[in-house]
Amino acid sequence: MADILPPNLLQERPRTPAGLLSNAEKDRLIERGFLGLYRWYTARSQETRNWNADRSFDWRHLRKDLPPEVVTVMQGFFAVEQYAPDFTSQLVHLVRRSHGRSHFQLRWGSEEEKHADAWENAVLFSEQRSPEWIAEYKERLRSQTWELPFPDAIHNLVYTVFQERATQLNYLNMMKIAQGKSEKPHLAGVSDPVLAKVAQTIAVDEAAHYNFFLEGVRMYLYYYPERTLDAIKNVIGQFSMPAASLVPDWQEFSETVYRAGIYGPRDFQRDVMQVAFRNLGIESRKALEEGIRKTREVPDFEGQNARTTAIFDTFDYGQIEGDVRRLHVKIQDYEQEIGFDKLDPTEFIENPEVPRQGGQAADD
C-alpha cells in the first residue's frame, strides 16, 4: 500500500496492533504457501498426469455413431477449453508479481491447453463435424477474447474454485454417459470406452486444479477472513461458466448439457457450491450472508474484538486452520525430500486473530 499512498498520508496509515500479523507479513506467508504448493503440484502433475492429447487415446476407435447430443456437448467443452491462452495470459498478468501463482498459472494453462486439444480430437474423430466446419468454428471462437470475470486477484481465485469444480462435474457426468450409465432414455446404453477415458482423464486434471485453488482460498480465508468471505459471497452471487457469453451456440449447448443430466442449476447448488462450502468450513449460503451482515453491523469504533468475533463465527475457522496446517506439512515433506528445508524452509505461522479454545480471541 505504501507505494500508492501520497507522502502526506503515510503517517495516517493504521498501524498493526501489537501481537497481530501485518498485511505485509500475511502476504509473505500466503506467497510462501503458494510457492511450496506450486512446487509440489508441478512435481506431482509431471509424475501422475503427464498424458498427451493425441497419443494417450485410441482416437480411431471413438464411435462414429454417437448421439448428436453427445457431439454437441463435446463441441461445447472444446469451445470453452480452447480459450486456454486467454485464461492463462490474463491470469498470469494478474498475479505476475507472485512466483508461485504466476508459474502455477503457466503450468495450469499447459494442462487446460491439453483439454482443448483432446476435446477437439473427440469432435473430429466423431466424424460428425467436418475438418472445415471445425476450422471455421475455431476461427469464430478465436475472434473473441475472454476477459477476467472480476478485476482483482482474490475474486478471480475464488471464482476458479467454483469453476474448476463445475468443470470436473461436467466431465465426470460425461464419463458416466460414455460408460453407458446415463439415466436419460435418449442416452441410455451409449457406450464408448475411448470417450469415457478422455472425460475421466480430463476430470482428474480438473480435480487437481480445484484442489490447488481451494488451498489458495483457504490460506486467504485463514489470514484475511473478512475480505475472502466477501469475495465468496460476490462470486456465487453472479456465477456463470467461463466463456458463456462468447460461445455462439451457448444456449443450445447448455440446454443439451442440462437435458443430458450433465449439469444444471441444481447441480451447481448441490455438487459445486455445497461441496466448495464444505471444503471451506462454510455451513451454507445463508450462513455466509448472515455472517457478513453481522460483521458489518459491528461498528469499527467499538473496537476490533467484537468485529473479529463476528467474522470468525461465519465459518469453521478450526477446520480451516487444520487445513492450512496440513498444507504446510505436505509442503514441508516435499521440501525435505528435495533439501529446501535446510536452506529456505516454508513455515506455518498461526494467525493470532483466530480465536483459541474456549472461544477467547488471542488478543482478548
Of 226, 190, 206, the C-alpha closest to 309 is: 226
Q: In sequence order, what are the beta bridge partners of 179?
A: 191
Residue 309's Cβ-count burial label (10 Å; 0-12, 13-18, 19+) is middle
Q: Which is nearer to Fe ion, 206 or 335 (CB)?
A: 206
Residue 203's Cβ-side half-sphere holds a number of Cα atoms within 13 Å equal to 16
Q: By CB under 5 A, how many residues form the interface with Fe ion?
A: 5
Beta bridge partners of 58: none
Q: HSE of 56 in the Cβ direction (CA atoms, 13 Å)?
A: 19
- Rounded to 5°, angle at Cα 46 from 157 and 174: 65
Using the minimum distance from each CB to Fe ion, give the nearer residue, 211 or 234. Answer: 211
Binding mask 140-169 for Fe ion (x = CB under 5 A): ------------------------x-----
CB 273 within 8 A of CB 237: no
C-alpha cell recorded at residue 347: 513455515
Minimum separation from the CB atom of position 206 to Fe ion (A):
5
Distance separating alpha carbons of residues 300 and 264, to the nearest angstrom = 41
Q: How open is the CA angle 146-148-150, to the nearest 5 degrees?
A: 150
CB of 164 to Fe ion, least distance (A): 5
Distances (CA, A) of 357 to 24, 112, 308, 354, 361: 27, 43, 15, 10, 9
Q: How far is the CB of 86 from Fe ion (least distance, A)?
A: 13
Q: Which CB sits closer to Fe ion, 242 or 281?
A: 242
Does residue 206 belong to the site contacting Fe ion (CB under 5 A)? Answer: yes
- Which window, 27-35, 86-94, 208-216, 266-274, contacts Fe ion (CB under 5 A)? 208-216
Q: How far is the CB of 300 from Fe ion (least distance, A)?
A: 39
> Which residue number, 115 or 307, has a Cβ lying nearer to Fe ion?
115
CB of 158 to Fe ion, least distance (A): 15
User: Closest CB to Fe ion among 111 and 226?
Assistant: 111
- The smaller minimum CB distance to Fe ion, of residues 69 and 164, is found at 164
Buried b (16+ CB within 10 A) or exposed e, 192-221: bebbbbbbbbbbebbebbbbbbbbbbbbbb
Q: How far is the CB of 171 from Fe ion (least distance, A)?
A: 8
* Binding piece for Fe ion, criterion CB under 5 A, among 207-215, 219-227, 241-249, 296-304: 207-215
Min CB(116)–Fe ion separation in Å: 8
Rule CB under 5 A: is residue 120 a binding residue for Fe ion? Answer: no
Segment near Fe ion (CB under 5 A); pick from 125-133, 203-211, 288-296, 300-308: 203-211
Q: What whole-number distance in Å separates Cα of residue 20 and Cα of residue 12?
A: 19
Q: Does position 115 bind Fe ion by CB under 5 A?
A: yes
112 sits near Fe ion (criterion: CB under 5 A): yes
Query: Which of 209, 218, 307, 328 is the binder for Fe ion (CB under 5 A)?
Result: 209
Whole-number minimum distance, CB 123 to Fe ion, in Å? 15
Name residue, grid cell 498461526.
Answer: 350
**Closer CB to Fe ion, residue 42 or residue 304?**
42
Stretch that binds Fe ion, among 178-186, 209-217, 312-320, 344-352 (CB under 5 A): 209-217
Interface residue list for Fe ion (CB under 5 A): 112, 115, 164, 206, 209
